[in-house]
Structure 1
Amino acid sequence: MNITVQSIKFDADQKLVDFIKRKTGKLEQFLDNIIEGFCYLRLENVDDEFNKVVELKFNIPGSQLFAKSQAKSFEEATDLAVESLRRQINKHKTKTRNNGSNHKEILSTEGEDF
């Protein structure tokens, strides 16, 4: 999987980019056909210390997954966003499994009418 990391209006440290790539790379354990991923790092202009924003966007066959997280540090925000994507991947997998199994049941019951 190819992941592109973009920092908006600042330069991200290479250690941070490596951390993000390592964390998002672990998502391939849950879904192996991820086409590509994008990570956007942004500093929000707020007085609060929770001003680091990480947005993750992953393209998978037939769909797109998106997670946005805000925290004190980019590492913490990345962890939260990756966990959100992991839950979305699990939901996507169960949905596609159920659709496939329901389709087979519908086909088998339709054949009985003839």
Structure 2
Amino acid sequence: MKVNTQAVNFDADVKLIEFAQVKLDKLEQFYSKIINADVYLKVQKTSAPENKIAEIRIFVPGDDMVVKKTCKTFEQCIDECASSLERQLKKRKEKLSAH
């Protein structure tokens, strides 16, 4: 799956981009018709420790799925987004197979 990563207000490390790619590649186990994914990584200018935002949009035929999480680290954000998308994809697959 093709993953487009955009970092806003900072330069993303290669390790972080690879981490996102690996996490999102695992989603294809649950739903094989994923076209591609966009990952937006942002840093908020606040004093709170949870200032990292990850927004992931995956494109599937007939629909888009968007998940946005705010955490202390980007890895944690990506992990939580991936697990949320996993649940959504499983639910979508069950709905389609029920028809």
Q: TM-score, normalised by structure 2?
A: 0.96
Unpaired runs of 5+ in structure 1? 101-114
Deviation at 1:15, TM superposition (A): 0.6
Query: For 2:39, what is the secondary structure of its paired residue?
Result: strand
Structure 2 runs not aligned, ≥5 long:
none
Confirm or deny that 1:9 pairs with 2:9.
Answer: yes
Q: Which has the larger share of helix?
A: 1
Instruction: Measure, in 2, the Cα distance between the counterparts of 1:45 and 1:92.
Output: 36
Answer 1 or 2: which has greater strand percent: 2
- Percent of residue pairs bearing the same amino acid type: 36
In the TM superposition, what are the counterparts of 1:15-54 in structure 2 within 5 Å? 15-54=15-54
| Structure 1 length-normalised TM | 0.84
Query: Displacement, 1:95?
Result: 1.6
Q: SS at 1:49's partner residue?
A: coil
Aligned residues: CA RMSD = 0.8
Count of matched residue pairs: 99
2:67 matched residue in structure 1: 67
Larger relative contact order, structure 1 or 2 (CA cutoff 8 Å, min sep 6): 2
Which entry has the higher C-alpha Rg, 1 or 2? 1
